[in-house]
Chains A and B, each alone.
Chain A
């Protein structure tokens, strides 16, 4: 077989990416200096990551990225950052009780520690928010490492490739191709003629919302309604809300904070699942374009509908008191509305925060929440999952099927908000969604069998949620994977599968799977 894809150039760009990744570690390094812990870890991590990056860059041959190379680069880039991102976990946890630290006790322990670190790193960059940390506390982990964990989600949220296109002029040539392969949603909508400018706008909007959110969180603290939302926590949660991440340096996630904080987090989670291009239109005062957007209508409509349903369930006592962790008392409106709305938005658009241990809610609320996980955010947002727009198109196409039954010769395009969706896009959406659901189903079975093999019996909903929570980049599931639980007990084989699922989910399956076809590599 003669490989006709110029993989060297793709790898060289991954090197460049890792070089810049080393620079971002200045953030946790600063935290390390402030709190006086782990400075060495982050200095060493920077040196190692930059070293790998520079070594890879030597593969460079100056060729432009073609279509194949672009796919290869995007897919490898996410492998690259995930692998490069393990270094701080491994170093900081070396020879401690940390489950993600490097362990040289035995070959098995070494393997486990590497898989765990890669799981945590991938979960971070793909904004999944699933964790294998045994205990999230400052006794076990340094402030710097937990902040680094938050930062990975922020970097992954709007897309590392989008960020690279925004700052590296040499990537602008093929930028649209690259962003299209990475960005969530069926189609890329260019905001400006130049793709680098579009990428810059997206990141700027993203950064501005993050800054605003951090300021508001800290303002609540200063106002005295959020005692434990100090500056560290404000920044930490700012880093993981807008990317629909879900990591938190608090073991109890958002349940650790006051209702005021929880109410403030909700609108920002909703914003994170909205197409960021719409905020650009808001700035341009094209309000009609925003309100007419069918996906936004569908997204908000789904949130409202499901929240009302869940609210009714909670109001009638579906979640008995859970020991301070967001239990709802039957008949209390505010509490049950807050819990219903928060859990709906956080699972619908794949954030994965929690204000209540929904794994202990009644069976039927859990089934509802599991269904919600399949919806996903909007195209062009930081949310994961199938995405609202795809479901809308599928529903419209299904309705067309019905009218074709009455008039077999009818010619009817699929329309969304008056706009005609190309047939290629429609069949692409069908293809994607079936592939996605297929992978989900097969993975759920494999996870169930694999955990059964090591004597860990998963319930049905646990197995299903493990699969959707990772491919959908959501994070928490049900049972032992609940919002305050962890993925630590899974065997390494299942964790590897989940790492792949997170990776597939973040890149929306197709750009990854195409690498495993023969026609991709050969002419």
Chain B
């Protein structure tokens, strides 16, 4: 496969390093200094030029390319590059964007911006950062379809509230699918009458609020509301607060710049935004430490301050701290230093892109820990086996053990029922046995 990577920044380089082993990779960047070094470091071809121009794209061989990954630092140039490439050749395009607004637009209609796959840096990071909060009972966790759908795997402890109940008794949640029960190495497709036993692993897919509520129910003594303090009103900080709000939490957010604080408070209706400098050493002194469960350090472009804030939080006795790290190499270092979760937006983005490159039609694959089942998010197109027919009819043509967990249409959640007709352009989150996952992806 011939892959063009536009933008030789950290994300681009990381993706190139992954893909160069098995594919022909061409890297494009305006900066000759950067491309010069790369040619020696990685087994790639380099082109210097403006990747959104026709000449540069032609020069990098877009006509014969199978995949174009636009990952420059600018959202707009990435989108423009995809659009231009599409007009020149039949190439699959991937755009990396930072702004959530573009993902919203892209989710709404097909073929917007000429982008086949959009990776949102911030969204992924947030999914990872927020994922840990409020879902302590989950053994595994992932977000799909731009955050509209969540998947979580819970272990049922003996003596828990739902042990011995049937699925239909336990299912008191709106828009929640019980996708699979893993019991002693076998995967059970749950029916309404399936009884839940102690030590089962249950995989649920559904609306964030419902997954969260289910987790809270399993989470025994754990109080369902968690108090989150977000340090720094960066874009990531903002989206973290927004996602927490959607989950029914009331986070606090500290931001030093008064104008930025005002702008954030206008957009976040539930979050308590406060104009306070969180980079000073004693920023936690007048907080009610005992009430705070999680601190998310999300200061803009300031890994060191994030590290210090997160460590300081641990030091005063806060349960859990999450830090955003700007340099991927430091993720492990941060976690070694005592931060519970360190997240690097770029690393997460690069992983996502590589994942996509490996299987172009699949949007997102989550391999659960024991590798029995996979959860796959797919954008349904005209050729898909699901298109235009009720799910109960289509499921017959799919391998056994495949469960349609959630559908999103135009960015909103749709609970899949037997009679739900899937349309082209919908996103489907599907759970499948690992052995048949490949076949399922092909059918869909």
Contacts and interface: CB of A to CB of B under 8 A. Distances in A.
Interface of A: 403, 407, 409-413, 415, 418, 420
B274 A415 contact: no
A413 B262 contact: yes
Contact of B269 (A407, A411, A418): A418
Contacts of A403: 272
A412 B272 CA distance: 7
Contacts of A412: 265, 272-273
B265 A413 contact: yes
Contact of B274 (A407, A418, A420): A407
A409 B275 contact: yes
Contacts of A413: 262, 265-266
Interface of B: 255, 258, 261-262, 264-266, 269, 272-276
A138 to B, nearest CB: 59
Contacts of B261: 411
Given A409-B276, A410-B274, 8 more contacts: A403-B272, A409-B274, A410-B275, A411-B265, A411-B274, A412-B272, A415-B269, A418-B269
B266 A410 contact: no
A410 B273 contact: yes
B101 to A, nearest CB: 18
Contacts, number: 28
Contacts of B262: 411, 413
Nearest to A415: B269
A420 B275 CA distance: 18
Nearest to B260: A411
A3 to B, nearest CB: 40
Q: Which 9 A-B pairs have the closest CB atoms?
A: A411-B261, A409-B276, A409-B274, A420-B266, A411-B265, A411-B273, A411-B275, A413-B266, A410-B274
A411 B272 CA distance: 7
B381 to A, nearest CB: 33
Contacts of A410: 272-275
A418 B270 CA distance: 10
21 contacts: A403-B272, A407-B272, A409-B274, A409-B276, A410-B273, A410-B274, A410-B275, A411-B255, A411-B261, A411-B262, A411-B265, A411-B273, A411-B274, A411-B275, A412-B273, A413-B262, A413-B265, A413-B266, A415-B269, A418-B269, A420-B266
Contacts of A411: 255, 258, 261-262, 264-265, 273-275
Contacts of B269: 415, 418
Contacts of B272: 403, 407, 410, 412
Contacts of B276: 409
Interface-centre pick from B255, B266, B269 (highest chain A CB count, 10 A): B266
A299 to B, nearest CB: 23
B273 to A, nearest CB: 5
B252 to A, nearest CB: 8
A426 B342 CA distance: 42
B254 to A, nearest CB: 8
Contacts of B255: 411
A410 B272 CA distance: 7
A410 B269 CA distance: 13
B276 to A, nearest CB: 4
Interface-centre pick from A403, A411, A412, A415 (highest chain B CB count, 10 A): A411
Nearest to A410: B274
Interface-centre pick from A403, A410, A418 (highest chain B CB count, 10 A): A410
B148 to A, nearest CB: 20
Contacts of B275: 409-411
Contacts of A407: 272, 274
A399 to B, nearest CB: 13
A134 to B, nearest CB: 57
A292 to B, nearest CB: 14
Contacts of B264: 411
B229 to A, nearest CB: 12
B286 to A, nearest CB: 9
B76 to A, nearest CB: 27
